[in-house]
Structure formats: C-alpha cells, structure tokens
Chain A
C-alpha cells in the first residue's frame, strides 16, 4: 500500500510554517513517529529555505512542488523547482563541525542536516526542473 500527497509551495519564506503543518498532518495520518516527522520536516525545510532564498533572482513568484510517497518502511520526498540547474549536493562545502566557538563558521549546516537525517539524497535535472529526491527509512507504523 502506498500513500501519496502532493503539495505546492511558492518561493516565500512564509511557506515554511505551512510545510511544517503539512508534514505534521501527513505524519499524524499515517502514524509516523515524532522523531521521523521532525527529521523529514527539517530536511525539507532546509532545502525549501535554500530554494526560496537563492534559487530565483527574477522577483517573480515560482511554484515549488513536493511529492510525498509512503510505503510501509520508507518515506520518499521529491522536491521539484524550476530554478536554474543547481545540484545543492554537489555545490555544498562540507560543514565544519569542530573547533572552538571563535573558529566555527556561521552557516553551512542546512545540507549537513539533509545528508545526516536522510538515508539517501539524489539530484536529477529533468527538463526545465531540478528534482531532489530524499529517502528516509521509517520505523514501523500502526496505520499502514
């Protein structure tokens, strides 16, 4: 049994709370753990925030699509945007996770979260779209 959900967002940071609501509702509907909901929300938040903040320079409204698909042990999230070709996984510098407070750079953690919290992340350019696919193994749930 596969459960799917399609969500649309615009390139506006006010969409971030709406993403959180949607992931929470999806998680509650299919009995996902609070921990899994947090991790999936955080990974998608980081990617959506980056898209909203950096993907568009034309000042226009853009549609960013999210497709969720849940099978008994696995959640797959596909994020699709129509920005210029950009693979955040290839471009990101490794996060700096040690050193003193003074040495620690500001920023660079978002993609580290995506890589750490998801089991697999991949990028594809599909026609005029960037497509990021996240896969997260899910602990056994009741409602599936």
Chain B
C-alpha cells in the first residue's frame, strides 16, 4: 500500500493506494497516528484503494476517535463500491463522515 500526502492550507489530504489489510495496516496506523494530534483537519481519499479488511477499519476507527477527541475533523471520500459495502456492513456509514468526491470533502471541511 502507498500513502501520499498533500497540504491545502490547514487541511491534510491523504491518499491511499492499493490494499489496506492486516499486512499493511501497521504501516497505516503508524502514519495516521502522527496526523491526529492537535485539532487536525484531515481528508482521506480512497479513490485508489482497492481493498480494505477489518484490520484497516480498526485503524480508521481508532483515528476517527482520536480526531473527535481533539475536536478535529476527519472526512473520507471517493470510496469504491466494494469498499463502501464493507463500511456499510460494519455500520461505519453512520459514524464516519463520507463524501462522494474530494471536492465535496473539501467543501465539507468549510461547512
């Protein structure tokens, strides 16, 4: 899995590529935990992520809890259909802020 990051004003845009599973979730956890301190404004773009398992969802939930504790914002965007289905089965659609596009996610940060 590849993780790339760009900064747009005070918003950190993270893009994930490949597969977020038990063989890559430790790498993602180590990275994302450096981004959730303070009062973060974080967008995670899923457009190039092909697969997620419970190991990946665990890290996302952990990150979302930390962002909430810090009164920050976390928005996910552009989930592929199969990944969205996994979020749905997990009951994650109601607890995470998920937008159809990166533009929607950026607009959501300002709202």
> Does B54 contact A46, Cβ atoms closer than 8 Å?
yes
* A17 contacts the other chain (CB 8 A): yes
Give the interface segment out of A33-41, A60-68, A75-83, A131-139: A33-41
- Interface residue ranges of A1-58 to B (CB < 8 Å): 13-14, 16-17, 20, 34-35, 38, 41-42, 45-46, 49, 52-53
Q: CB-CB < 8 A to B71: which residues of A?
A: none
The total of Cβ contacts below 8 Å across the A-B interface reads: 68
> Do B23 and A109 touch (CB < 8 A)?
no
A16-B23 contact in complex given A34-B82, A97-B90, A113-B86, C-beta closer than 8 Å: yes
The answer to whether B91 touches A42 (Cβ under 8 A) is no
In the complex, A107 has a CB within 8 A of chain B: yes
Whether A38 pairs with B82 at a CB distance below 8 angstroms is yes
Tell me whether B57 is interfacial, beta carbon within 8 Å.
yes
- Measured between C-beta atoms, what is the minimum distance from A59 to chain B in Å? 19
* Residues of chain B lying within 8 A (CB to CB) of residue A98: 91, 94
Q: Does B39 contact A (CB under 8 A)?
A: no
Whether the Cβ atoms of B22 and A45 lie closer than 8 Å is: yes
Q: Contacts A14-B23, A38-B82, A101-B68 known; A49 to B94 CB distance under 8 Å?
A: no
Given contacts A34-B82, A45-B53, A53-B22, contact A102 B90 (CB under 8 A): no
- Say yes or no for A143: interface residue by CB 8 A criterion: no
Total interface residues on B, using CB and 8 Å? 23
Q: Is the CB of A42 within 8 A of B61?
A: no
Asked if B82 contacts A110 (CB within 8 A), the reply is no
Q: Does B111 count as interface, using CB distance less than 8 angstroms? A: no
Apart from A45-B53, A53-B22, what 10 extra A-B contacts exist at CB < 8 Å?
A13-B23, A45-B21, A49-B21, A97-B90, A101-B64, A101-B65, A101-B96, A102-B68, A107-B58, A113-B54
Q: Can you list 16 A-B contacts (CB < 8 A)?
A: A13-B22, A13-B23, A17-B23, A20-B19, A20-B51, A35-B82, A38-B51, A38-B82, A42-B51, A49-B53, A101-B61, A102-B65, A104-B95, A113-B53, A113-B54, A116-B89
Question: Which residues does B use to contact A, with CB under 8 Å?
Answer: 19, 21-23, 51, 53-55, 57-58, 61-62, 64-65, 68, 82, 86, 89-91, 94-96
Q: Which 4 A-B pairs have the closest CB atoms?
A: A97-B91, A109-B54, A49-B22, A110-B54
